[in-house]
Amino acid sequence: MNSLAGLGKKSRERLASLMRGMKGVISLEDAASILKMPEAQAATFVSRLCKNGWLSRIRRGMYIPVAIESKNVDPVSEDSWAIAQRLFEPCYIGGWSAAEHWDLTEQIFRSVVVVTARKVRSKKIEAGGAEYFLKMTTNEKLFGTTEVWRNNAKVKVSDPSKTVVDIFNAPEIGGGIRPAFDILKNYLSSKNKNLDLLIQYGEKTKNGTVFKRLGFLVEKKYPQEKSFLERCQFRISKGYSQLDPALKSDKIISKWKLWIPSSWTGENSND
């Protein structure tokens, strides 16, 4: 690793300008605009900053600052959400990462879930010292988000209700159906509980399997939510779906048109 190198007065002024204009991540286009110079000249300057350890390249044309106290040029970024916003926009932070943000889970996940409408080649990507788990979607399904500040950058994150619906649309981004069930129970006992919004978001997701999974699990734990259960029942799709595609399922719940693992038929599945 290169140790952090010193800069001349003019270069320090330019670096300071970049830092002021940087929102977690900076592109060559950003650098050229901030420094008021041709992009080719900005690329040369940014390349020198990387070589001297002031910036770290996370992807072609994308850079993050290296903390002054860092002893090397490859630190884990404190702005993994801000990096995701720039790398995968249009997107938002969702799944287990949003669940952590809204205190809907106590589990600690290593990677950041990003729901993106950008075409990506792999579900798992490393950038800036962080790991990202990507879930592709369409532009019209990038709804139900709110903006939060990450240092000096605004980042979109799914709101609590959208987080639950997304996870029941794709259990893998919740860590699987058991962690998803825990997230649901925490949501239903929180101030963020909004059953009408769950229905609304579920309809906009256009996947009847969401209502099958929600209906089945809410009925197991909260059978008193009769109105919500009736609305879910009315919206389930034809055909049979899996409670969790990642698990072997050998039992059928006809009411909810679900294949479930046999372990979910016992009392323990109510915990």
- Rounded CA-CA distance 138/174 in Å is 19
What pLDDT score does 75 carry? Answer: 41
What pLDDT score does 129 carry? Answer: 76
Q: With a cut of 60, say whether residue 84 has pLDDT above it.
A: yes
Lowest mean pLDDT among 64-68, 131-135, 218-222, 228-232: 64-68
What is the per-residue pLDDT across 28-69, written as a single tens digit (0 to 9) for each? 888 888 888 888 888 888 788 877 777 777 777 777 776 554
CATH architecture of 9-65: Orthogonal Bundle (1.10)
- Rounded CA-CA distance 168/184 in Å is 9
End-to-end Cα, the chain, rounded Å: 50
Considering the chain, what is the average pLDDT of its residues?
86
**Strand 258-260, strand 241-242: pairing:** parallel
Domain ranges, ordered by start, for the chain: 9-65, 80-270
Matching residue, tokens 């002024």 = 13
Cβ–Cβ under 8 Å, residues 18 and 42: no
Backbone angle region of 138, left / alpha / beta, with phi > 0 → left and psi within -120 to 50 → alpha: beta
* Sequence-separated contacts (24+) of 261-269 with Cβ below 8 Å: 269/220
- Rounded CA-CA distance 173/44 in Å is 39
What is the per-residue pLDDT across 148-206, written as a single tens digit (0 to 9) for each? 988 677 899 999 999 999 999 999 999 999 999 999 999 999 999 999 999 999 999 99
Tokens of 1: 């690793």
What pLDDT score does 210 carry? Answer: 98
* Sequence-separated contacts (24+) of 254-259 with Cβ below 8 Å: 256/212, 256/213, 256/215, 256/216, 256/219, 257/212, 258/212, 258/213, 258/216
25: nearest Cα among 156, 157, 158, 151: 151
Q: DSSP assignment of 135-175, as one string? A: EE--GGG--SEEEEEETTEEEEEE-HHHHHHHHHH-GGGGT
